[in-house]
Amino acid sequence: MSEHVEEVSTRDQIWRAHPADARLVGIVVARDGMPSIVEQRKQLTDFGVPIDGFRHPAPNVSETWEERLNRLFGRLQRGDVVVVTSAHVFGRDATEETQTIAELGRRGIIIKVLAHAAPAG
């Protein structure tokens, strides 16, 4: 992983070391080799991570990965806690994942990745 990423296995670990006004943000991505968006969302909500305003991505929208990242960066604030089911959410390959995670870290975004055998309680 990275200095900016913490794997969590309990709900309590999600909120450890966060600013008082931080938001909890669950992110899901449709990508080959990853669980479906529905499954990722289920894993996050089962773990207690709300995904407000969830929308399935429109398949006919042609948005580059860079445009999607810029939109994501524009919505997150320093101190927000981003929770994902896998670090693969952050890029199409290891290089993109590393770059995205580093940029989120520079922006003060806290990243939590659910442990694969994470208990619901």
Give a yes or no: residue 119 inside a domain: no
| Domain count within the chain | 1
Give a yes or no: residue 50 inside a domain: yes
The first and second tokens of residue 39, run together, are 């499954």
What is the predicted pLDDT for the residue at 2? Answer: 66
From CA 74, how far away is CA 92, in angstroms rounded? Answer: 20
The pLDDT tens digits of the residues spanning 8-37 come to: 776 666 666 566 777 888 888 888 888 998
What is the predicted pLDDT for the residue at 40? Answer: 92
Query: Stretch 73-92: mean pLDDT, rounded?
Result: 89
Q: Tell me, what CATH number does 47's domain have?
A: 3.40.50.1390
The pLDDT tens digits of the residues spanning 28-78 come to: 888 888 899 889 989 988 888 877 655 555 556 677 777 877 888 888 889
Give a yes or no: residue 121 inside a domain: no
Give a yes or no: residue 120 inside a domain: no
Expressed as residue numbers, the domain containing 26 is 5-55+63-114
